[in-house]
Chain A
Amino acid sequence: MIRDKYKRPVRATQGQRLKTSAMIASIAGEDQPTRMAPFGHALVDLARRRTDIVGMSADLAKYTDLHIFAQAYPDRFYQMGMAEQLLMGAAAGMAREGFMPFVTTYAVFAARRAYDFICMAIAEEGLNVRIACALPGLTTGYGPSHQATEDLAIFRGLPNLTILDPCDALDTEQAVHAMADHQGPVYMRLLRGKVPLVLDRFDYRFQIGKAKLLMDGQDVLFISSGLMTMRVIEAADRLASDGVRAGVLHVPTIKPLDTQTILAEAARHGRLIVVAENHSVIGGLGEAVAAALLKGGHGGRFRHIGLPDEFLDAGALPTLHDRYGISTSAVVATVKSWL
């Protein structure tokens, strides 16, 4: 998109213009139940029984909830400075010496700046490093420097790497413990700060590599990951009031993809498949599911909700989620247009 930076914005005549900073800390909606820093607190719990766990960050501990761990275990926390290549290399070194580093930064810096180090020092060696990265997809209004809209596209091509995209506080907490028992490197998209709690209403337990049907419905099947799972749950509730029965298949592990469950659910009811992801439409869950369906011989209707293949705008998150079609109301409207 070409902008004219010399043109003053037109003042909104109605309503209030939202501010970018208002939504930096949380993706939670008003009145939505939340938990504070679920990643940091879960890691502290885990570290109590696992003395091999260390925390490392590149000057973003406070913004990735790793400060909770650093406060609880100051001698097990390593501040590596604003140097993401060093961070990943040093994490590899720590893992080589038998420790399990939980490493945090922003997803843009891990995926774009430190990729070669994650690739060669960590993934090629199959080391037990856990990389938890905040601001996945469109979860900040700071613009492309902070919005990791292509992190999954970058990381999906990396052999050995397990990729997680948890939905809420519960998912994140359980993923922390599951990662600790996993062999090989893991990349997790991290929701930080006040993180919504939505999966507690379901009979759900996070397992690496497993997709889980949260809701069933005969007209539409949402296949989603990350925060889009909470959006499509809300969307399914709203669609139900309009007589549209929508199911939700939550896919918190992007790689390895639970192809078996996806194919089995896609085969039921002949319903419209809608993949919803907080990521570019290039190279993320949508294309992974599309490929799985095609290879699996599924011939049904398929649609995809994701971020456009563009550098996205700066602004307030609710505005941007509406603009790019990943707010609940945008999802509902889009799906209705497809029915």
Chain B
Amino acid sequence: MQDRLSNVSLPLRAHNIRRHALRMAEVQGQGYIAQALGIADVLAVAYFDSMVYRPDDPEWEGRDRFLLSIGHYAIALYAALIEAGILPEDEIETYGSDDSRLPMSGMAAYTPGMEITGGSLGQGLPIAVGMCLGLKRKGSDRFVYNLLSDGELDEGSTWEAAMSASSYHLDNLIALVDVNNMQADGPSRGVLDFEPLDAKFAAFGWHVQRVNGNDIAAVAEALRRAKASTEPKPRIVICDTRMGKGVDFLEERERNHFLRVEPDEWVRALERLEQGKPV
């Protein structure tokens, strides 16, 4: 399948996002690389099949908004923004360094295309509710996407916003939840059990889909349905993903919320990724 904007395939976009992310992580020698590899397919679909935006005008009024509440996933979003042409590729080497536009936790004031400051989890969905209300006030038909993580769902404010989005029939809101079952203190379901997630959001009045977040065709179909639905409900696509996806020895690490990778392993990681490069 090809992306909407060019003749590049979505799997190749996802591959490139993973490569950009690995190269950024290498600058620091450690980081939230497993999450970035896991969510790359979802970001490829969002940025190259689903969303409307202008790479040369990140604040264009007619754009879809993409809110990253999980600030530590910035490395993944930077990779997508680079692939989308919103950020130049040569800034990869500045990632997480002094005076960089690419801080390790995403902030709106630093980076073109970063709509909000994340990092304090549980803020994205409340902000999304306000933006959706604002877009409707303006008569805009644009969507607000909010990428959350399973661990973030521990935060009560997310559920305040979930109720509100449904109460206000915010059919211009598309929440994406990365369910990789890993948070800072360990497997998410063990930290605070959030399942059954689809039933929870359905009970809150949402249009719910759950897909394998590493199945690009399934994610693309889910986002198409989310946009096309005429139900007066906020939409959520719950994406089950695999941490470290695309680099086998990183997929197998157990405690991979914040990965430390030895210098020689980066070369191997990029090699393993290249071996799986889509044709």
Contacts and interface: CB of A to CB of B under 8 A. Distances in A.
A119 B108 CA distance: 14
Nearest to B108: A125
Nearest to B107: A124
Given A81-B164, A89-B161, A93-B133, A121 B127 contact: yes
A88 B126 contact: yes
A96 B131 contact: yes
The prevalent SS among residues of B at the interface is helix
A94 B157 contact: no
Contact of B137 (A85, A97, A125): A97
Interface in B82-129: 107-109, 115-117, 119-120, 122-123, 125-129
A98 to B, nearest CB: 7
Size bracket, chain B contacts: 20 to 34
Given A83-B164, A85-B156, A86-B160, A94 B134 contact: yes
Nearest to A86: B160
Interface string B131-150: 11111011000000000000
A96 B126 contact: no
A38 B120 CA distance: 36
B2 interface: no
Nearest to B122: A85
Nearest to B67: A93
Nearest to A80: B164
Contacts of A95: 130
A169 interface: no
A91 interface: yes
A95 B137 CA distance: 12
A62 B129 CA distance: 23
Interface in A174-225: none
A237 interface: no
B164 to A, nearest CB: 6
Contacts of B160: 81, 83, 85-86
Given A86-B126, A90-B129, A117-B126, A54 B137 contact: yes
A116 interface: yes
Given A80-B164, A117-B126, A117-B157, A93 B134 contact: yes
Nearest to B109: A125
A36 interface: no
A101 B133 CA distance: 12
B229 interface: no
Contacts of B119: 120
Contacts of A324: none
Contacts of B133: 78, 90, 93-94
A317 to B, nearest CB: 32
Interface string B7-42: 000000000000000000000000000000000000
A92 interface: yes
> Which of A98, A99, A120, A124 lies at the interface centre, i.e. has the most chain B CB atoms within 10 A of its CB?
A120
B164 A97 contact: no
A86 B161 CA distance: 6
B100 to A, nearest CB: 18
B163 interface: yes
Given A86-B129, A94-B133, A116 B117 contact: no
Contacts of B161: 86, 89-90
Contacts of A81: 160, 163-164, 167
Contact of B117 (A88, A93, A99, A125): A125
A92 B127 contact: yes
Given A93-B126, A93-B132, A121 B116 contact: yes
Contact of B129 (A89, A101, A117, A125): A89
Nearest to A117: B123
A40 B137 CA distance: 22
Contact of A99 (B123, B126, B128, B134): B134
Contact of B126 (A54, A121, A125): A121
Contact of B130 (A92, A116, A125): A92
A116 B129 CA distance: 17
Contacts of A89: 123, 125-127, 129-130, 157, 161
Interface in A62-98: 78, 80-81, 83, 85-86, 88-98
29 contacts: A83-B163, A85-B157, A85-B160, A86-B157, A86-B164, A88-B126, A89-B123, A89-B127, A90-B127, A90-B130, A90-B164, A92-B126, A93-B127, A93-B130, A93-B132, A94-B130, A94-B131, A94-B133, A97-B131, A116-B120, A116-B123, A117-B123, A120-B117, A120-B120, A121-B123, A121-B126, A124-B109, A124-B117, A125-B109
Q: 6 tightest A-B contacts by CB?
A: A93-B130, A89-B126, A97-B134, A90-B130, A83-B160, A93-B131
Interface of A: 54, 78, 80-81, 83, 85-86, 88-99, 101, 116-117, 119-121, 124-125
Given A86-B164, A92-B116, A93-B132, 13 more contacts: A54-B137, A83-B163, A83-B164, A85-B126, A85-B157, A89-B123, A90-B127, A90-B129, A90-B164, A96-B130, A97-B131, A99-B134, A120-B123
